[in-house]
Structure 1
Amino acid sequence: MKQSILQFLKLQIITILFWVLSFCLFITIRYFEIGTEGGKAFVTNYDQVIPITQWLQFSILIGVLVGFFYGIIEFISDKLLLYKFSTGLLILLKTIVYLLLLILSTNFVVGLIEVQIDRNLPNEPGWWMENKVFWLIVVYFNICSLIFSFLKIAIENFGHGVLFNQLIGKYKRPREERRIFMFLDLQSSTTIAEQLGHYKYSQLIQQCFYDLNSIINNFDANIYQYVGDEAVISWTFEKGLKQNNCVELFYKFQDKLVKKEKIYLKQFGIIPKFKAGLHGGTLIVTEVGTIKKEIAYHGDVINTSARIQGECNKYDETLLISESLLQKLKLHKYKLKSMGDITLKGKESTLKLFSINKLN
């Protein structure tokens, strides 16, 4: 609940700032349309020009009002509708709701402005149907709304921070970074796939990763890749170590699956369980591709993390971690057990591994 509230507040701040800036820009453009209908709209009944500061105050008011309800709609759609509808249909449904919201909020603000500027403004029932300025606002609103939606979709597809890094060309040239990786894989995936069939199995993986995505931002993580029934998750060292995020994410995901066990049993007849390997270190990050660009990680850290996850079945453990990463964490509420020096597949040197389990 606390995490959902924080997500909601964060979204509210973003949407309110976005719409305040959008409406301030609109008012500024209209205000300086000298000699046009836009310029005349800012004159009172007594031919006095209303200062732009006063108009900006009104634009801030309507920006806060629209942004607040916009944030509520976005939050509800993300939580309840995102998984059920296609992106295009969801945008269409939200556009209709936003139009109704704009009509109601405009009626409210027009009444306030009319009193403040001492000018008769259209406010009779249905005034907005033939009002050119209103439909200009609607077009502008929809353009801004689409920009917001596509930016949100792009951030979700690329991952938080990745889109911005690509825009500024941060990884045009290879550069070193210290990162933590988790390879998260469904246990007994082959058996489950045979039991469910490929279609039902695909639905299971889709649902599991949907539940994973619903919590991942709470732990400052990014999804690097989905590979079949496996998700590769990464953190910068600072974010992964902070409050043991790289470990807490795994058990929060497990808890979420347990809480939804009735739903999984009803739909698939099983409760999915995942295993994971954790490792961290220095590797190379660079932008690759031209037709389809992405940020790629190159180095031994990736391979080692995958190999650690591959040892989970052998030792009947759900979470294994390298000693080098474990030493940087403070896991007081977990039970640690040494697996000894392990020679990982494809490696010549050994690596000391530990299992992590919750205390009873």
Structure 2
Amino acid sequence: MFEKDNFGNMDVSSKNRRRWRIIRFYCIGWTLAFVFLSIVRGIGTEELGKLKFDFVSSLYIAFTIGPLMGLISGAAQILTEERIYKRITIRKLLFIRFLFTILFTVVLILLAYGTYQLYFGISIDIFSFASDRGSGAIYFYVFSVDLMLSVLRQVNLMLGEGNLYKLFLGKFYTPNEEKRVFMFLDLQSSTELAEKLGHIKYSMLVQECFNDLGTAIPDNAQIYQYVGDEAVITWDSNTGIENQNCLQAFYSFKKLLAEREDFYMKNYGCVPFFKAGVHVGIVTVTEVGKYKKEIAYHGDTINTAARIQGKCNELGSELLLSETLKNELLSKRFRFTEMGAVALKGKKGKITIHSVSQNGPQKAIA
């Protein structure tokens, strides 16, 4: 019999889903890459080396090696994102990448040789196989695919998880309306921290905080923007409201910062503290920019969420949300305290705001 923290379970589940998406991306990418290679080399061309395979045989190899290489590349990407990136210098990162490329090539040769033996029973030794005529072109192709998939992964991270695919489909080419939840998350006492730490170390602090934010929030959330020491997070309305994901994300982030208190105190002499405002409503989403494209959200919902966050210090609360959002949430994990109807800067009318606090971690017995 043991107890589990729901937030902890959510973090683990979210991390596992994110890892699965990375593995899936690389498995599909490598499989398609080898299928493309089979088409190019197997239709209307003749192999120059000792190993000659028709198109169908090449497909057997592609569908065997592709997923295996995807698993290796995906695992390496997960390790890089979670354990290595931003933890070491760029010089060490490039050196590790170089070592991975060498190891990757060796593994590719071993997998390809084993696959050929499994399906066709080739009689040449592995060294002759690796140096067969035309192998150099294949190695160059593999390196190019590896680079392309890594670049696509970085672009996907920059646009927000899943948005690259939607961008290719043209979903954002014309403005569309969506109902979304927005959270504005702001680092408190930022001016004092910047004066105390200096600009470089302060930037490192903000960078570290946002790295932790990416780790803490569930995969159903999208980090829309970083604006100085402020982050804007968004969910589609159903996902953000379900299981109170939009509120749980804030407390998961707060919990992670608390767990890393020793690290922050040792390196920056403080423990960062954030306050947030949350609202739900209709926004317009579209692709903007000609030479620097960006997926942008427009609408009063975003402005309202930002103004709510701006009331945190005045109302003495770390997390505020609009009554509109509060009425859509069904929760026993959180307490809501009405702070009254307040005037928000730039808005004519008043809006009722509620303060949020935890009832305490929900526990389950297994």
Q: Which residue of 2 aligns with 1:204?
A: 205
Task: Tell me, in whole angstroms, the C-alpha distance in 1 between the residues paired with 2:62 and 2:32.
Answer: 9
Q: Which residue of 2 aligns with 1:330?
A: 330
What is the letter of the counterpart of residue 205 of structure 1? V
Q: Which residue of 1 aligns with 2:238?
A: 238
Q: Does 1:42 align with 2:52?
A: yes
What is the letter of the counterpart of residue 156 of structure 1? L
TM-score normalised according to structure 2 size:
0.87
What is the letter of the counterpart of residue 117 of structure 2? E
Q: Does 1:121 align with 2:97?
A: no
Q: Which residue of 1 aligns with 2:87?
A: 84
Q: Which residue of 1 aligns with 2:341?
A: 341
Task: Tell me, in whole angstroms, the C-alpha distance in 2 between the residues paired with 1:253 and 1:135.
Answer: 48
With over 3 angstroms needed to count, the CA separation of the structure-2 counterparts of 1:108 and 1:185, relative to structure 1, is closer
What is the letter of the counterpart of residue 149 of structure 2? F
Q: Which has the greater radius of gyration?
A: 1
Using the TM superposition, give the Cα deviation of residue 335 of structure 1 relative to its aligned residue in structure 2, in angstroms: 1.4
CA deviations 1:75-112 (Å, max 9, x no partner) are 11111121135779746743541332232342343145
CA deviations 1:281-339 (Å, max 9, x no partner) are 11222322222221222221111111100110011100000001111112211111110
Using the TM superposition, give the Cα deviation of residue 118 of structure 1 relative to its aligned residue in structure 2, in angstroms: 4.1
Task: Tell me, in whole angstroms, the C-alpha distance in 2 between the residues paired with 1:312 and 1:22.
Answer: 51
CA deviations 1:253-291 (Å, max 9, x no partner) are 101101111100100111111000001111222322222
Using the TM superposition, give the Cα deviation of residue 241 of structure 1 relative to its aligned residue in structure 2, in angstroms: 1.4
Task: Tell me, in whole angstroms, the C-alpha distance in 2 between the residues paired with 1:234 and 1:313.
Answer: 22
Tell me, what secondary structure is at the counterpart of 2:292?
coil
Mapped contact 2:65–2:115 kept (Cα < 8 A)? no
Task: Tell me, in whole angstroms, the C-alpha distance in 1 between the residues paired with 2:89 and 2:293.
Answer: 24
What is the letter of the counterpart of residue 334 of structure 2? Y
Using the TM superposition, give the Cα deviation of residue 188 of structure 1 relative to its aligned residue in structure 2, in angstroms: 1.7
Mapped contact 2:64–2:115 kept (Cα < 8 A)? no
Higher RCO (Cα < 8 Å, 6 or more apart): 2
- Aligned pairs, number: 349
State which drifts further: 253-262 or 22-31: 22-31
Task: Tell me, in whole angstroms, the C-alpha distance in 1 between the residues paired with 2:330 and 2:308.
Answer: 20
Tell me, what secondary structure is at the counterpart of 2:234?
strand
Which aligned pairs between 1:24-43 and structure 2 lie closer than 5 A? 24-37=35-48, 41-42=51-52
2:33 corresponds to which of 22, 26, 43: 22
Task: Tell me, in whole angstroms, the C-alpha distance in 2 between the residues paired with 1:4 and 1:350.
Answer: 39
Tell me, what secondary structure is at the counterpart of 1:178?
strand
Mapped contact 2:41–2:47 kept (Cα < 8 A)? no
With over 3 angstroms needed to count, the CA separation of the structure-2 counterparts of 1:42 and 1:188, relative to structure 1, is same
With over 3 angstroms needed to count, the CA separation of the structure-2 counterparts of 1:111 and 1:159, relative to structure 1, is closer
Task: Tell me, in whole angstroms, the C-alpha distance in 2 between the residues paired with 1:158 and 1:225.
Answer: 10
Tell me, what secondary structure is at the counterpart of 2:177?
strand
Q: Which residue of 2 aligns with 1:46?
A: none
Unaligned runs of 5+ in 1: 44-49
Mapped contact 2:276–2:309 kept (Cα < 8 A)? yes
Task: Tell me, in whole angstroms, the C-alpha distance in 1 between the residues paired with 2:281 and 2:197.
Answer: 38
**Alpha-carbon RMSD:** 2.4
With over 3 angstroms needed to count, the CA separation of the structure-2 counterparts of 1:137 and 1:85, relative to structure 1, is farther
With over 3 angstroms needed to count, the CA separation of the structure-2 counterparts of 1:138 and 1:35, relative to structure 1, is closer
With over 3 angstroms needed to count, the CA separation of the structure-2 counterparts of 1:212 and 1:66, relative to structure 1, is same
Q: Which residue of 1 aligns with 2:164?
A: 163
Which aligned pairs between 1:94-113 and structure 2 lie closer than 5 A? 94-113=97-116
Tell me, what secondary structure is at the counterpart of 1:120?
coil
With over 3 angstroms needed to count, the CA separation of the structure-2 counterparts of 1:160 and 1:359, relative to structure 1, is same
State which drifts further: 65-74 or 142-151: 65-74
With over 3 angstroms needed to count, the CA separation of the structure-2 counterparts of 1:76 and 1:229, relative to structure 1, is same
1:68 corresponds to which of 67, 71, 91: 71
Mapped contact 2:278–2:305 kept (Cα < 8 A)? yes
Q: Does 1:286 align with 2:286?
A: yes
Using the TM superposition, give the Cα deviation of residue 127 of structure 1 relative to its aligned residue in structure 2, in angstroms: 5.8
CA deviations 1:199-228 (Å, max 9, x no partner) are 221111111011111233x24122222111
Which aligned pairs between 1:161-200 and structure 2 lie closer than 5 A? 161-200=162-201
Task: Tell me, in whole angstroms, the C-alpha distance in 1 between the residues paired with 2:161 and 2:111.
Answer: 36
Identity of aligned residues (%): 35
With over 3 angstroms needed to count, the CA separation of the structure-2 counterparts of 1:116 and 1:297, relative to structure 1, is closer
Q: Which residue of 1 aligns with 2:60?
A: 57
Task: Tell me, in whole angstroms, the C-alpha distance in 1 between the residues paired with 2:32 and 2:170.
Answer: 26
Q: Does 1:261 align with 2:267?
A: no
Task: Tell me, in whole angstroms, the C-alpha distance in 2 between the residues paired with 1:27 and 1:89.
Answer: 36
Tell me, what secondary structure is at the counterpart of 1:136?
helix
Unaligned runs of 5+ in 2: 1-11, 361-366
What is the letter of the counterpart of residue 199 of structure 1? I
What is the letter of the counterpart of residue 24 of structure 2? I
Tell me, what secondary structure is at the counterpart of 2:213?
helix
Using the TM superposition, give the Cα deviation of residue 2 of structure 1 relative to its aligned residue in structure 2, in angstroms: 4.0
